[in-house]
Amino acid sequence: MSRNRLIIILVAGALVILFLTYGLIDTWNLILLRPILNFLILLSNVFFGNFGLAIIALVIIVRLVMTPLTLKQLHSTRAMHTLQPKMKELQKKYAKDKDKLKQEIAKLYKESGVSPMGCLGPMLLQLPIWIALYRSILHVAAATPEALLGLSNDLYSWSAIHQAVPLDPNFLWLNLTQPDVPPTGYFILPILVAASMYVLQKMSTVPSTDPQQQSMSKMMIWMMPLMFGFFTLMFPSGLALFWVVSTIVGIVTQYFITGWGSLFVRAPAPAPQVAEEQRMETPEGALLEDQLATERVEQQERVAHGKSRDKRKDRRRSRRAGARKTRRKP
Amino acid sequence: MTKPKALFLFALLVGGCLLLSGCAAIGTATPIGWSAPVMDDDVIYVGTTEGKVVSYTLFSEPRVAAEWWRFPLRGELGLGGGGGGGGFLACMPTAAAVMYSTPFVADGAVYIGAYDGRVYALNTSSRVAGYSFPQESEGEWVYPEEDSIGAIVGSPVVAEGILYIGSADGNLYAIDIVTSELAWDSPFATGDDIWATPLVHDGVVYIGSFDHKIYAIDAADGTLVWESPFQTDGAIAATPLFYNNTIYIGSFDRKFYAVDTSTGKAKEGFIPFPAGNWFWGRAVAYDDTIIVGCVDGRVYALDAETGERKWSFPELDEGPVGPIRGDPALAGEVVIFGSDDGKVYALDAASGHLIWDYPHGEDRFGPIRASLYAGDGEVYVHDTRNHYIYALGVEHGNVLWSVSTAE
């Protein structure tokens, strides 16, 4: 048994024992909510009682701690994307033999060293931490007397923590316990949340010529920012501040991995289905598609780093690629 | 499943989780209120969780409470119905007329502060007649008339024609109850929110603030009496107790203090008593013993001179009951507490032995966060979750009568 698998089994076992002993909610509070919440209060002490700065610092720290998971997720996403042409080829080849298709896909994953859970696994692992983080921000904000009374039960018995509570909710123009909407707010945070999430979504989306994938990506690019922008209208601005900072850190991380990605790149025109099918039917066509996909990824990297090539060169190359694509159209 | 579909579902999952847990968290952060009932001349007054001040007349034979009048604080001013809800979007808390304040009754008038930052003076005759509010000729007013001061969590106290009330804007206000104007040149400013109820004694107002300090202020002109306010290591939300020229008060630093009222310094010989959590409620004094409830779920009886623990309920080797936030009621030799575990406990003030608790078994009230009020062999409990007021017999803890505060 590998060391990683042993660690996973031990952690899972410990969690099961905790769930059985304390119940689901108490275990959640014990291992995630209370540590984050108390750390947040300590951080605000460090920042002279400034709750806003404490939230910003906490988000950056948690993001840094989770960097390995984030990197793994980003690399897996990219690796999965580069396999798409080969996947399509296999799907066409074994369209009538599902079992064989599964075997071949598994073989492809194994040969390429890519795990299909590589994208979702780290995301799923991070989800409880993010939810605990934002629940603790809401909890510490203690907008009402009832909430403050409830908070008293989750504090560690350290003097520094009890001295700091209740925290001052004012930060810049914001009352962190209230949403940034009129009459007390100005809609600035909802706009910031939506805009920053749009940028991140756009950067992290890999362009595709598959119409289905394109429409899905398009929906994701708009849906997430709109959804979170809408949440920001309802939730306390402490939480919105957390989302903005977290997204900005995400943008910086993404920049160092893929550069600006698709942010300044127009989505390629979807290839007609029939032509694509015809192309994929021949080994030459599949090979050509593979080359194109590789070229697209390379182009993204060039745009991202943009160190050795100037923009005019890139534009010329894009035009050439576009012309090639146009020529290939029937 | 294709990768985009999986991502799409994952995004929906994340959004759903955030929305559900966010709304659940906001639900717990919606103000409900914990106004306590008070009795004056066989009439009980209370602020309900629906944003209304209600009065009940008590009859002797049979012992029942009948509603006398009911007044919606914000509705009469055209500010909406009061009870909560609405806001920018449906699940947002709003500054509705939620009341944490206990009504103060004096000379046919009822004074109460609301969480929306207004103080109201209601005249009983006008409210019975159902006249529009405010009937200024009958001494009714709202302060401030427009806008609001900060959220009010403490209760008003009236002495010598002046109403004193603290606000979350950090100020202590003194309002002339006849003119409804500020009685001082300006409100007394502390360094942070005031959630406590002031104590007025011998022309001095004592008040604790979230800035960790206790202030003694001249009740007539609002000037500071102590040159250096007494300071603790935590926010103060409790109401002080005056006993034998000493102020007794607990703090969020989990300690209970005694302050010499003449100097504003810690009382000599009294060692601050450390507990397991915050002190939020006012203490009561019984035979040189200071009895106080704590959010750690215990009631402590301390020697008034030394701060030494005489007894605690439950004893330290037993598990605590639920957090105790409200003020206790002292009825003769019985001290009665309400707890967040939904039970009321009556203890022998001398020994701390449990005399009765109610409800029995698995039954529970909602969390009892409102202070208790004892009078005429009964103790009144406001169950804010189930919207009921219960009268329990001081002797046996049986329910003598109950009345719903809901309309």
B8 touches chain A (CB under 8 A): yes
Identity of the residue in B3, B92, B235 whose CB atom sits nearest the CB atom of A166 = B235
User: What pLDDT band is residue A71 in, cutting at 50, 70 and 90?
Assistant: confident
Question: Could you tell me the two tokens for A274?
Answer: 């029939």
Identity of the residue in A119, A150, A220 whose CB atom sits nearest the CB atom of B8 = A220
User: Which H or E element spans position B117?
Assistant: none
Report chain A's C-alpha Rg in angstroms.
Answer: 24
Identity of the residue in A152, A166, A213 whose CB atom sits nearest the CB atom of B4 = A213
Residues of chain B positioned with their CB less than 8 A from the CB of A144 = 29-32, 93
- pLDDT in the model for residue A12: 77
User: Which H or E element spans position B207?
Assistant: strand B204-208
pLDDT tens-place string over residues B88-111: 444 444 445 899 999 999 988 999
Region of B250 on the Ramachandran plot (φ > 0 left; ψ -120 to 50 alpha; else beta):
beta
Nearest CA in chain A to B10: A120
- pLDDT in the model for residue B33: 94
Residue A106 confidence (pLDDT) above 90: no
Residues B188, A35: Cα–Cα separation, whole Å: 39
DSSP A169-196: -EETTEETTS-S-TTT--SHHHHHHHHH
Residues A62, B20: Cα–Cα separation, whole Å: 23
pLDDT tens-place string over residues B224-239: 999 778 999 999 999 9
User: Domain boundaries in chain A?
Assistant: 171-270, 272-330
- pLDDT in the model for residue B196: 97
User: What pLDDT band is residue B20 in, cutting at 50, 70 and 90?
Assistant: low
Residues A102, A95: Cα–Cα separation, whole Å: 11
B92 touches chain A (CB under 8 A): yes
> Could A138 and B31 be called an inter-chain contact, meaning their C-beta atoms sit closer than 8 Å?
no
Identity of the residue in A131, A143, A216 whose CB atom sits nearest the CB atom of B4 = A216
Q: Which of residues 107-146 of A touch B (CB under 8 A)?
A: 119-120, 123, 127, 131, 134-135, 138-139, 141-146
A231 touches chain B (CB under 8 A): yes
Q: Which of residues 283-322 of A touch B (CB under 8 A)?
A: none
Give Cβ neighbours of residue A141 (< 8 Å, ≥ 6 apart).
Answer: A51, A147, A167, A169, A176, A177, A236, A238, B29
Identity of the residue in B11, B195, B233 whose CB atom sits nearest the CB atom of A159 = B233
Closest CA to B327 of B215, B140, B232, B196: B196
Highest mean pLDDT, choosing among A16-30, A169-183, A243-257, B139-153: B139-153
Residues B270, B245: Cα–Cα separation, whole Å: 13
Question: Could you tell me the two tokens for B401?
Answer: 């009568």
Residues B294, A74: Cα–Cα separation, whole Å: 50
Whether residue B359 has a cis bond before it, omega within 30° of 0: yes
Mean pLDDT lowest among A233-242, B17-26, B141-150, B334-343: B17-26
What phi, psi does B400 have (nearest 5°)? -85, -40
Residue type, B303: D
> Could B323 and A152 be called an inter-chain contact, meaning their C-beta atoms sit closer than 8 Å?
yes
pLDDT tens-place string over residues B246-272: 999 999 999 999 999 999 999 999 999
B369 touches chain A (CB under 8 A): yes
> Could A213 and B15 be called an inter-chain contact, meaning their C-beta atoms sit closer than 8 Å?
no
Q: What is the pTM of this model?
A: 0.80
ipTM field: 0.89
Would you state the torsion angle of the CA atoms of residues A259, A260, A261, A262, taken in this order, to the nearest 10 degrees?
-170
A234 touches chain B (CB under 8 A): yes
Residues of chain A positioned with their CB less than 8 A from the CB of B18 = 131, 134, 231
Mean pLDDT, to the nearest integer, of B296-316? 97
What phi, psi does B278 have (nearest 5°)? -70, 155
Mean pLDDT lowest among A212-221, A319-328, B314-323: A319-328
% of chain B with per-residue pLDDT over 70? 87
A25 touches chain B (CB under 8 A): no
Between A165 and A130, the more confident residue is A165
User: Which H or E element spans position B87?
Assistant: none
Collapsing DSSP states into helix, strand and coil, what is residue B164?
A: strand
Residues A119, A123: Cα–Cα separation, whole Å: 7
Residue with tokens 């202020």: B217
B22 touches chain A (CB under 8 A): yes
Residue A284 confidence (pLDDT) above 70: no
Between A47 and A88, the more confident residue is A47
